[in-house]
A and B are shown apart, each in its own frame.
Chain A
Amino acid sequence: METALSASRSDACAVIVEHGAERHLRWADSELIGTGDVDTFQVSVVSVVGDRVGAVTVSGRADRAEIVAVVRAAEAAARQAPPAEDARPLPAPGAESPHWDAALPAPSSAVLAGLVDQLTEGFARARRNGQALYGYAEHRRRTTFLGTSTGVRLRHDDRAGYLELTAGDRDGTPAWTNAVTTEFDDVSVRELQDELDRRLRWGRRSIELPPGRYECLLPPSAVADLMNYAYTTAGARAAAQGRSVYSRPGGRTRVGEVLSDVPLTLRSDPAADRLRCSPFLVTSSSTGTRSVFDNGLPLGPTSWWERGRLRSLVHTRASAEELGAPLTPMVDNLVLDGPPGGGDTAELIARTRRGLLLTSLWYIREVDLATMALTGLTRDGVFLVEEGEVVGAVHNFRFNDSPLAMVGRVVEVGRTLPTRARDWGDAVGPTAMPMLRVRDVRLTAVTHAR
């Protein structure tokens, strides 16, 4: 870090150092099929020459000479580049990270060892019950350092664990569940299997239904997938240019518009419990929603929707200044809340007269940017609920619908829980979502794929 900053000859410089370590396991048909014990080390240098910028990222062992070479390469790239539209002075330093010099954490083998014991038992149980288990677990620790020529010295330590488990038997549809954790000390494979067994029992009775519009109970993972689309497309500049679902005629945006009559709040907060993410902006390349010139910008609680109303879009400093809007930078976590007292899955099922309980969504793709129309599929469990009881399993469906249209059809919101989007994975960081009851979800085709 200091080597790079002291070597810099540019007008301004930002250096990002990322040190990471990951352990992962993958299994299929109740047997290990893949594993990894992986270290990463990466240095990114962002050099600013006037209003031009160059960025170079390298990974690998780096001595002083190599670090200096990276700085020179970034400076050369900056000198060759045309002026950048988002050029701004780098942010001034705020509070320094108190643990700047603390030792780097490393994943503990004990974390995986405990999981191996649990999975060994789980595989045996599955075989006894005529089932096969499939799944994946990962444990990751990553430390990010940011230093800039303006004096910023910030550090963020990130720990994340994830496990997903699929069970299949010969009788019906597979069942899927997942668990978000940090150290796996709160993950019970046995309890996850109990849940899968319950769902496999639900699947013993098969029911055929035609395509159509159905009331659906969307579980947190599926909601996370949909909300990630709503969040990642919420760039203010694109909206003001008229090329986003958040655009209105005349170069205006939909900020202030009511999206849902239900008081849904979509928010980000770096300090959110069990969802911590970097409290400062760090990026090695500019996009429509992030700017390298904003490196070190402090991030705080931000409401994107407030009680059903669109409150903010994602801004860089440049777009906020240009559009005269409050600065609301992108934060790497996402939470959707409903009114207090939201129920759990069992309570929402019990309150369902007739509807479909979904498990997860898969292979979601944008069909129409102007409406944020998406297509995708249900996966690993669609269950018909009648008069408060699950009465059987239905085949999978293709859906064609828009998250922003769907939030307008939300009729009940469950309890918000940490989850991970199945299709998006961890691409947008930690999420916490509730189950949503949505009327008239457009299920446009049937598939018997399992």
Chain B
Amino acid sequence: MDHPVPRRPVPMTTRPRRATACEPGFDTLPADQLTAAALHRASRLGARYADVRLRRVRTLRERVRDARPEGSQVGVESGAGVRVLVNGTWGFAAGPDLSVGGLAELAARACELARMLRPLRRDPVRLAPEPVGAPATWESPCEVDPFEVPAGDRVALLAGWCEALRAGGLDLAEAYLQVFRESTVYRDSAGRSVRQRRTWLHPMAVGFRIDSAGGGFDSMRTLGPPIARGWEYLRGTGWDWAAELARMPRDLAAKRAAPPVEPGVYDLVIDPTNLWLTIHETVGHATELDRMLGREAAFAGRSFVTPEDVGTLRYGSPAMTVIADRTTPYGLATVGYDDEGVAARSWPLIAEGVLVGVQHDRQTAGVAGLDRSTGCAYAESYRHLPVQRMPNVSLCAVPGGPDTAELIGRVRDGLYVVGDNSFSVDMERVNFQFTAQRFYRIRDGRLDGQVRDAAYTGATLEFWRSLEAVGGPQTWLLSGASQCGKAQPLQLAAAGHGCPAALFRQVRVTSTRMEVTR
């Protein structure tokens, strides 16, 4: 019988720390002068409200195939975005010129744009009220700065991962690393002032088994999630990479030899390495207020949830409690403040199966007439207008709850689903289809080898109402999406999702191979 990699539960509270790392060339900017120049110019030109973001995004990408580097790039993107409200109409201008003159010019252009667009505005923009606090700083935890690790060491580590997979008998191995650091100075015309920095990284290794004689191949990748930590994560803090790499060749060989799944209806025990993505798509996005209001109708889509559903909609079974949280330790969406200067907080979305909350920013909360934003504004870079983005959205474990083996033990005829893979959901977040890295057959409460080419599919409410049990804290894992797309122009954002293992009854499973013929 296979067992998942042991995990330690993650504590559920954190306190912001003072920023300590230095971001040369950004931390030394005369931020007060720059932001004042923009706010002053905007005010002079008739803006009732204005905010300014100075932002630097540092990225690092490494790609190694077998032992050879295939691509490496360091990127630094710095600039400013100025958002104004003139006559109740938005204007936004952004550029890379971080000078006093440059910021004032951006403010002027934003005001000019707002005036030009006034005919397209029906109702004046109303921002939900937000108290003004003292100037604040915040930084995400990062013990070893990944940007300070020599390139040779980075590549050597990834090459070592590839070698571990090749040594296990795989025909080809690739490893990737993406590191992201975002530094922000935020000021607005109401007096809010924030300086913050966050770092996350996403390592991954992929192994291939190739049938060179008969044709065809299979692949499998590591399950270690992207996380808001430093280089220590790649050395084993928070995830046992060595153990996972050691078992992957065996798992992939078993997958390659596995029989195809028989389509039908199965009970599923879903590992948190897979379930996080289902939460992201069917709960996280579905509880975004901007979707409910139709603001994403032309692109990312709407939601089947309506504002009127709050307090009454039976979203799932009583075993389902979901928390939205911008303070989860190491969460990809964990910040001190959002991009409207709203302090991070935690709030319930679903309590014992009933929808009790939604996500919003000052703008969408204002449209809905709500008292205060939940702090979900985010802009991908200086070039982007802040839009409503997902916080960390997590399914709660049950204290004293079962472990994964106990959940499997409750299933007579089912599948154990491990690792995320392909994902697709409709425009209202109802019909979904998910595949996995591995599907294990469950017979009479025990794992009985892998099956291949499976996908589980269904409808959101039906699925979550079929949730019979969630695991205990020992099964809870924080994962997440490092690149979630939304809005136009497209913006990427990262969101964390924690969840325990969970048991769902009678879920439809299809064969991906049987539905596609060459």
B-binding residues in A (CB < 8 A) = 22, 24-42, 53-61, 66, 73, 77, 80-86, 109, 112-113, 116-117, 119-120, 123, 132, 134-136, 138, 164, 166, 168, 174, 176, 241-243, 247-251, 284-288, 362-371, 373, 375-377, 379, 396, 398, 400-402, 404-405, 408, 425, 442, 444-450
Is the CB–CB distance between B424 and A377 below 8 Å?
yes
Enumerate 6 A-B pairs (CB-CB under 8 Å) in ascending A order.
A35-B117, A40-B96, A86-B70, A123-B120, A247-B217, A449-B301
The stretch among B161-169, B241-249, B390-398, B510-518 that forms the contact with chain A is: B510-518
In the complex, what distance in Å separates the CA atom of A107 from the CA atom of B384?
18
B200 within 8 A of A: no
Is the CB–CB distance between A61 and B102 below 8 Å?
yes
Given contact pairs A82-B152, A84-B69, A449-B304, A109 touches B297 in the complex (Cβ within 8 A): no
Is the CB–CB distance between B426 and A396 below 8 Å?
yes
| Residues on A with beta carbons closer than 8 Å to the beta carbon of B435 | 367
In the complex, what distance in Å separates the CA atom of A166 from the CA atom of B427?
14
B74 within 8 A of A: yes
In the complex, what distance in Å separates the CA atom of A241 from the CA atom of B150?
31
In the complex, what distance in Å separates the CA atom of A85 from the CA atom of B69?
7
| Residues on A with beta carbons closer than 8 Å to the beta carbon of B489 | 22, 24, 36, 138
The stretch among B75-83, B130-138, B182-190, B229-237 that forms the contact with chain A is: B75-83
Q: Which single member of B71, B218, B298 contacts A164 (CB below 8 Å)?
A: B298
In the complex, what distance in Å separates the CA atom of A450 from the CA atom of B296?
12
Is the CB–CB distance between B425 and A367 below 8 Å?
no
Quick one: which of B157-193 are within 8 Å of A by CB? 159, 171-172
| Residues on A with beta carbons closer than 8 Å to the beta carbon of B517 | 405
Is the CB–CB distance between A370 and B151 below 8 Å?
no
Is the CB–CB distance between A119 and B120 below 8 Å?
yes
In the complex, what distance in Å separates the CA atom of A34 from the CA atom of B110?
12
| Residues on B with beta carbons closer than 8 Å to the beta carbon of A168 | 297
Is the CB–CB distance between B116 and A116 below 8 Å?
yes
Is the CB–CB distance between A35 and B90 below 8 Å?
yes
Is the CB–CB distance between B216 and A85 below 8 Å?
no
Residue of B73, B123, B422, B516 with most chain A CB atoms under a 10 A cut-off: B516
Residue of A120, A287, A363 with most chain B CB atoms under a 10 A cut-off: A363
- Which residue of chain A is the closest to B26 with respect to CB atoms? A60
In the complex, what distance in Å separates the CA atom of A444 from the CA atom of B116?
47
Q: Which single member of B109, B215, B297, B426 contacts A134 (CB below 8 Å)?
A: B297
Residue of A119, A135, A365, A401 with most chain B CB atoms under a 10 A cut-off: A365
- Which residue of chain A is the closest to B171 with respect to CB atoms? A242
- Which residue of chain B is the closest to A447 with respect to CB atoms? B431
| Residues on A with beta carbons closer than 8 Å to the beta carbon of B74 | 54-57, 73, 77
Q: B339 → chain A, closest Cβ, in Å? A: 14
| Residues on B with beta carbons closer than 8 Å to the beta carbon of A112 | 116
Is the CB–CB distance between A362 and B427 below 8 Å?
yes
Is the CB–CB distance between B73 and A243 below 8 Å?
no
A-binding residues in B (CB < 8 A) = 25, 61, 63, 65, 67-79, 89-99, 102, 109-110, 112-114, 116-117, 119-123, 150-152, 155-156, 159, 171-172, 208, 210-219, 293-299, 301-302, 304, 383-385, 387, 422-431, 433, 435, 453, 455, 457, 487-490, 510, 512-513, 515-518
Given contact pairs A54-B72, A405-B517, A425-B490, A81 touches B304 in the complex (Cβ within 8 A): no
Q: Which single member of A54, A138, A249, A398 contacts B424 (CB below 8 Å)?
A: A398
- Which residue of chain A is the closest to B295 with respect to CB atoms? A28
Is the CB–CB distance between A367 and B96 below 8 Å?
no
Is the CB–CB distance between B96 and A59 below 8 Å?
yes
| Residues on B with beta carbons closer than 8 Å to the beta carbon of A176 | 298
Given contact pairs A37-B93, A57-B76, A243-B208, A371 touches B518 in the complex (Cβ within 8 A): yes
In the complex, what distance in Å separates the CA atom of A38 from the CA atom of B215?
49
Is the CB–CB distance between B122 and A30 below 8 Å?
yes
- Which residue of chain A is the closest to B423 with respect to CB atoms? A365
| Residues on A with beta carbons closer than 8 Å to the beta carbon of B78 | 58-60
Is the CB–CB distance between B68 and A136 below 8 Å?
no
| Residues on A with beta carbons closer than 8 Å to the beta carbon of B152 | 80-82
Given contact pairs A40-B96, A81-B151, A449-B426, A116 touches B117 in the complex (Cβ within 8 A): yes
Is the CB–CB distance between A25 and B424 below 8 Å?
no
Is the CB–CB distance between B73 and A370 below 8 Å?
no
- Which residue of chain A is the closest to B299 with respect to CB atoms? A136
Q: A427 → chain B, closest Cβ, in Å? A: 9
Q: Which single member of A36, A368, A445 contacts B92 (CB below 8 Å)?
A: A36
| Residues on A with beta carbons closer than 8 Å to the beta carbon of B67 | 82
Is the CB–CB distance between A365 and B428 below 8 Å?
no
| Residues on A with beta carbons closer than 8 Å to the beta carbon of B93 | 36-38
20 additional A-B residue pairs with CB within 8 Å, beyond A54-B74, A286-B72, A449-B431: A27-B120, A32-B90, A35-B90, A55-B74, A66-B25, A77-B72, A85-B70, A136-B488, A241-B208, A241-B210, A243-B217, A250-B212, A286-B71, A362-B427, A363-B426, A367-B512, A373-B515, A379-B427, A396-B426, A405-B518
Q: B424 → chain A, closest Cβ, in Å? A: 5
Is the CB–CB distance between A61 and B96 below 8 Å?
yes
Is the CB–CB distance between B72 and A59 below 8 Å?
no
Is the CB–CB distance between B385 and A36 below 8 Å?
yes
In the complex, what distance in Å separates the CA atom of A134 from the CA atom of B427?
14
Given contact pairs A27-B120, A28-B295, A243-B210, A284 touches B73 in the complex (Cβ within 8 A): yes
In the complex, what distance in Å separates the CA atom of A284 from the CA atom of B156?
22
In the complex, what distance in Å separates the CA atom of A419 from the CA atom of B97?
34
In the complex, what distance in Å separates the CA atom of A142 from the CA atom of B301?
29
Is the CB–CB distance between B96 and A60 below 8 Å?
yes
Which are the 5 A-B pairs with shortest beta-carbon distances? A134-B298, A449-B428, A447-B431, A39-B95, A80-B151
In the complex, what distance in Å separates the CA atom of A84 from the CA atom of B67?
10
Q: Which single member of A138, A367, A377, A404 contacts B426 (CB below 8 Å)?
A: A377
| Residues on A with beta carbons closer than 8 Å to the beta carbon of B295 | 28-29, 33
